[in-house]
Structure 1
């Protein structure tokens, strides 16, 4: 497991404030009772959604915007060869340290933008995941295009984000950040939320075929997350890159 840096990026599709925000919380990534508790809670659900479609065992997988490695390690735990990339150095250090502590050998981390990696190693991955990231960058369509470029023909791609409507504002911002305090205030910018129609258009423009979708819902009484068919708030999609003609 090594770390490499990319200092010359073709496109700086990052928000410095977002990087700083997550860097300040980096030491808490693996604390399941911290601000990252929601990510730990939904991780088994999103992992199963991915594995059900892509059959991870033996696959070469890329986790874009991996943060502290919560999903990346889980992907490796399904016998995949997993690489996680992020632009937050502190988060990557935590990811590397945790993998060492847990003796996870089939995981690799890099400090590199997805656009730069796509230019460097196109069509190299059986599975590409980009979860809870698109709503934190200036140009989400660029991320989707780069992910599509990184996937092999016939490969699977998975994206998750938050829908943009009054219900999502009330649940993902007002309730989650202020009333239930599931995450720090200011975690999300409602204006950056992405509707399924918008994400679908980004995927089509990147040459991807939408294959499946699932919503994620939170029960404040049981304090548990569940998959659902409703995409009103948090949702995930599975796409397929067409095979070469």
Structure 2
């Protein structure tokens, strides 16, 4: 039997919510709120790493970017608008259907595939940047998942991993607060036991031949109603890594 990262219960959970991906007030409202800080971080590191012109209309022209667990395409679409050759993969086929329809309506050419990171890696595909955003806490076989994501990074390329820390604060805010009190997310969206600490993520990254180059926490500012980068990595955080050039 071929090893897989697919967790059937997680796939069913996100399939049930698939129709709401592009509703900024729906079940994916937190991701819509989260997108600006994610995109800003991605843009900053792509411009610096590949020495691109930030003033250009399409600064990512010529770069191939893969979004693993792309959902409805909330990251793929802005990346495509900035010129990237964007590929989005998701194990939930309904998510891919929604993503394709929305991209078509938006006039964007994005390669969406209902597949997994390990399947794509087995085909020998590689990309200038791999986005591993809020996915690792939803998969089975985390070591296989992180290896397959790392294998998809070209020499000299980047990988960004974003997830939730396994702390008491993360449990209190991401599960008790976000799911049960504020109702930002459906109850059961997250399992605290599947959260990874930054040290665990960085160990998995370096084990698979990448070098960690930057890390940041992300915190919500309620008065401004927005997410911002922070030194506080106790709840949400992002880790940037690169594969050494050949």
**What range describes the TM-score normalised by the shorter chain of this pair?**
over 0.9
- Which residue matches 1:27? 19
**Among 99, 115, 118, which residue is 2:121 paired with?**
118
Q: Deviations over 1:117-136 (max 9, x none)?
A: 001024x2111101010000
2:184 counterpart SS class: coil
Residues 34/60 of structure 1: CA separation in 2 closer, same or farther (3 Å cut): same
Where in structure 2 are the equivalents of 1:22-101 lying within 5 Å?
A: 22-55=14-47, 56-101=60-105
TM-superposed deviation, 1:54:
1.6
Where in structure 2 are the equivalents of 1:176-191 lying within 5 Å?
A: 176-191=178-193
Q: Deviations over 1:162-185 (max 9, x none)?
A: 000111110111111111111111
Distance (whole Å) between structure 1 residues aligned to residue 188 and residue 33 of structure 2: 20
Distance (whole Å) between structure 2 residues aligned to residue 131 and residue 210 of structure 1: 16
Q: CA RMSD in A?
A: 1.2
TM-superposed deviation, 1:213:
1.0
Distance (whole Å) between structure 1 residues aligned to residue 84 and residue 155 of structure 2: 18
Distance (whole Å) between structure 1 residues aligned to residue 221 and residue 182 of structure 2: 11
- Which residue matches 1:5? none
Distance (whole Å) between structure 1 residues aligned to residue 163 and residue 106 of structure 2: 29
Matched, 1:108 2:100: no
1:236 counterpart SS class: strand
Q: Deviations over 1:150-170 (max 9, x none)?
A: 111010000100000111110
TM-score (norm 1): 0.92
CA contact (8 A) 1:10 1:115 kept: no
Instruction: Name structure 2 gaps, 5 residues minimum.
Output: 48-59
Q: Deviations over 1:86-133 (max 9, x none)?
A: 10011110000000000012x1101111101001024x2111101010
- Higher mean alpha-carbon deviation, 165-174 vs 51-60, is at 51-60
TM-superposed deviation, 1:192:
0.2
CA contact (8 A) 1:163 1:193 kept: yes
TM-score (norm 2): 0.92
Distance (whole Å) between structure 2 residues aligned to residue 85 and residue 113 of structure 1: 7
Distance (whole Å) between structure 2 residues aligned to residue 108 and residue 116 of structure 1: 15
CA contact (8 A) 2:4 2:141 kept: no
Distance (whole Å) between structure 2 residues aligned to residue 86 and residue 95 of structure 1: 10
Q: Deviations over 1:215-242 (max 9, x none)?
A: 1111234432111111110011110001
Distance (whole Å) between structure 1 residues aligned to residue 119 and residue 113 of structure 2: 11
